[in-house]
Structure 1
Amino acid sequence: METGIEVDFLPVGEGEHSGDAICVRWGVPGDYKVMVYDGGTEASGKALVEHIKKYYGTTHVDYVVNSHPDRDHASGLAVVLKELSVGEVWMHRPWSHSEAIRHYFADQRMTDASLSGRLQRKMGAAYKVDQLAEEKGVPIYEPFVGAEIGIFHVLSPTKDRYIDELLPAFEKSPELKEKTFVESLESIFDSITGAIKKAINYVAEQWSEEHLPETVETSAENESSVVLHASVQGRGFVLTGDAGIQSLRKASESASFMGINVASTLHFAQIPHHGGRHNVSTETLDLFFGSRNAAQDVVPTRVAFVSASKEAPTHPKKRVVNAFVRRGYIVNATKGSTVSYGIGMPARDGWTSAPRLAFSDQVEE
């Protein structure tokens, strides 16, 4: 019997802000493995626990993965650690690299211990997961390129890039020498009031058009997201967290080095950062997620999920959804509901097909 896999995205957030709460099960009957990739908020962490008990029939999670230390990804993992048994935790531990990064910062009075403490406090949700794992005797590993988490390979980040480039630029880190951290355009946009968001103008877009420039940027925290790839029945599955175009390009390079042609074999993909505009570009999408179909009537053969709060008015971006539809993906968004996809796994009674997001001829200006 061939290995099967199922991926579940649970809804996160009740307002405009989204998060990720994802669980994955793979294997054959009698020999399944379970992974949680991000836990969202405390509420979604509780929902993950109940979902795993009900649909996976277990109280054990083999692998807990925190893609990056943002609260809307890490908070729910503490609930998973409290209420279920866990085999391994995979997460970056910024506070453990203070000796390697202290020289980047302007405040020369900092010691390794004081910098570590500051990082622990500023990344409190992730640090809580770290401490709970230690208290329960669960081994903690850092997910850098080359590591394997069950059937998944880590494609990004490398350890050197994480420590030397990304970590010193975290918004939550102390001030860097000679410059301060400037918030990403995505973060600024997300902070705009709801009234202004409603005033967004829309413009026409055709199938043959795609205006996703390579000049977009996202935060260093987002770029530190753990990008995972697994191959099941010859089909690729990727989880991307909030990775931006730099990390997706690095992930493509890592995959090539491992002999994996991601773009041509990819079957299931997580759309990065809730479908935000500052994490994808046309060139990077072609490189990592596959090339565009010339004709609009081509039958889609791939699946893409995006985590977006039910009340988030601007996520996922219509431009981003269109880009994935052009590349032959059926796109589903959580928007207050759990969405699930699998191959070679038992059917679930009462579950129906999720509504797909259609190609839009009017997109955000």
Structure 2
Amino acid sequence: MTMSPGYEIDFLPVGQDQDGDAIVLRWGYNEVNYTNNPLINQKVVIIDTGFSSDGEKIRTHINNYYFVNKVDLIIITHPDLDHIGGLKYILENMEVGELWIHRPLLHGAMVQVDDRRVTENSKTKRLIECKVKIEDAIKIAQSKNIIIKEPFQGLGFNDGNGFITVLAPTKEYYESLLPEFIGEKSSSNLMAEGLRNAVESIGEKIKKLVTSNKDEDDLNDDDTTSAVNKSSAIILFGCCGDYSFFTGDAGIETLDIAYQYLTSQFNYNLFLSMLKVFQIPHHGSKRNLGPTILNKLFSNVDNSHISAVVSCIKTSNTNVTLKHPHQAVINAFKRRNINVYPTKGLTIYHSKNMPSRKGWSTADSLDYKLEYFEE
């Protein structure tokens, strides 16, 4: 019998009118004439679980393409509802080995979120929902004797054929963000939001035409994403001499922490030559990337072997504004000779040493645009 190690990565199209994240992957030994069976010594990992309605979709994909109802490891990068939503369903309906999830309540009373201590606004409502999702998941996992760990830098999962490593955040950085998890929006932010809502309510969305300079990014180095997003676990997957890099909704600071850790562990130029898949953070938001971190991460002249994937929706709902991915982000990757592939209602699939999937076709990448409108 001839066998070779192989792996598959699937970025699933989750969310209907809002962007969400759900990635499933597996690795193991593949028989040459493999059909409709798990790999030998197969390991299955889920990174984020989309919305509540996406749990069943994730399970069905694993059943249909990985041929098991078992997940060896689930990683929740951070507790936003578009990342943690399907977790409860999966824990209740699949066999799970380990759950990696941050548990803010273990890190100080300052993150006790309830409506007696903070002013109600959309931010605190979201965090209360996220807190409930975390606590529900922990209770289910504990009742089923699932191993629970927090995904801080250096945590690993390794079976000798493939491995998962957490690159960021450090525990110290995570705890430094917790005071920002709750609290009121600043008055200036509230005023800006009120003005924006008033403008949109009369159908007068303001857009400006941007003319891109091919020699410069239309991005800046200001890390303006939320503290919850900054807390995202950044995950490295390695198998068969390839690496893949998953970012959740991480911001520039978190990405830089991951980069510093990578350079301490690897010959970075060699690592970069073996990098195959990079997940663009936060669905391609302009707030999560800047020229400096992109120049660090993609320092090689030739990055054409890297595929950048962005999880974003495709919708026919005319009331939904498609904000992601931002064209400035697409352009930044194209400038670095990296193709960008959006989910937009489709599963983006990458594999090595695995049979092709019948009926599946080559994905289309997004184009560089010299001019584009932005709000």
Task: Give the TM-score normalised by structure 2.
Answer: 0.82
* Shift, 1:226, TM fit: 0.5
Partner of 1:156: 168
| Contact 1:6-1:26 at 8 Å conserved across structures | yes
| Contact 2:310-2:340 at 8 Å conserved across structures | yes
Aligned residues: percent identity? 35
* Shift, 1:3, TM fit: 3.0
* Shift, 1:231, TM fit: 2.6
The partner residue of 2:142 within 126, 134, 147 is 134
Partner of 2:123: none
Aligned equivalents of 1:140, 1:235: Cα separation in 2 = 28
Corresponding position: 1:125 with 2:133: yes
User: AA paired with 1:235?
Assistant: D
* Shift, 1:53, TM fit: 0.2
Deviations 1:23-58 (A, max 9, x none): 111122212110000001122211100000000111
Q: 1:37 to 1:194 in 2, by over 3 A?
A: farther
Aligned equivalents of 2:263, 2:193: Cα separation in 1 = 35
Aligned equivalents of 1:352, 1:254: Cα separation in 2 = 36
User: AA paired with 2:27?
Assistant: W
Corresponding position: 1:271 with 2:271: no
* Shift, 1:299, TM fit: 8.6
The partner residue of 2:177 within 160, 166, 173 is 166
* Shift, 1:227, TM fit: 0.2
User: AA paired with 1:37?
Assistant: I
Partner of 1:34: 44
Q: 1:184 to 1:244 in 2, by over 3 A?
A: farther
Partner of 1:215: 222
* Shift, 1:268, TM fit: 0.7
Partner of 1:115: none
Aligned equivalents of 1:292, 1:316: Cα separation in 2 = 24
| Contact 2:248-2:281 at 8 Å conserved across structures | yes
The partner residue of 2:290 within 281, 286, 298 is 281
Aligned equivalents of 2:141, 2:245: Cα separation in 1 = 26
Aligned pairs (5 A) from 1:41-80: 41-80=51-90
Q: 1:201 to 1:119 in 2, by over 3 A?
A: closer
Partner of 2:122: none
User: AA paired with 1:97?
Assistant: H
What SS is found at the alignment partner of 1:6?
Answer: strand
What SS is found at the alignment partner of 1:237?
Answer: strand
Aligned equivalents of 1:206, 1:327: Cα separation in 2 = 14
* Shift, 1:199, TM fit: 4.0
Q: 1:238 to 1:221 in 2, by over 3 A?
A: same
Deviations 1:70-101 (A, max 9, x none): 111001111111111000000001112225x5
| Contact 1:4-1:343 at 8 Å conserved across structures | yes
- Structure 2: runs of 5 or more not aligned: 31-39, 119-125, 316-320
What SS is found at the alignment partner of 1:363?
Answer: strand
* Shift, 1:345, TM fit: 1.8
* Shift, 1:200, TM fit: 2.3
What SS is found at the alignment partner of 1:54?
Answer: helix
* Shift, 1:314, TM fit: 1.6
User: AA paired with 2:66?
Assistant: Y
Q: 1:195 to 1:225 in 2, by over 3 A?
A: farther
| Contact 2:14-2:51 at 8 Å conserved across structures | yes
Aligned equivalents of 1:154, 1:197: Cα separation in 2 = 44
What SS is found at the alignment partner of 1:278?
Answer: helix
Partner of 1:113: none
Partner of 1:12: 14
Partner of 2:212: 205
Corresponding position: 1:247 with 2:254: yes
Q: 1:284 to 1:182 in 2, by over 3 A?
A: farther
Aligned equivalents of 1:74, 1:122: Cα separation in 2 = 8
What SS is found at the alignment partner of 2:57?
Answer: helix
Q: CA RMSD in A?
A: 3.0
Aligned equivalents of 1:154, 1:242: Cα separation in 2 = 15
What SS is found at the alignment partner of 1:3?
Answer: strand
| Contact 1:74-1:129 at 8 Å conserved across structures | no
Corresponding position: 1:325 with 2:353: no
- Structure 1: runs of 5 or more not aligned: 111-117
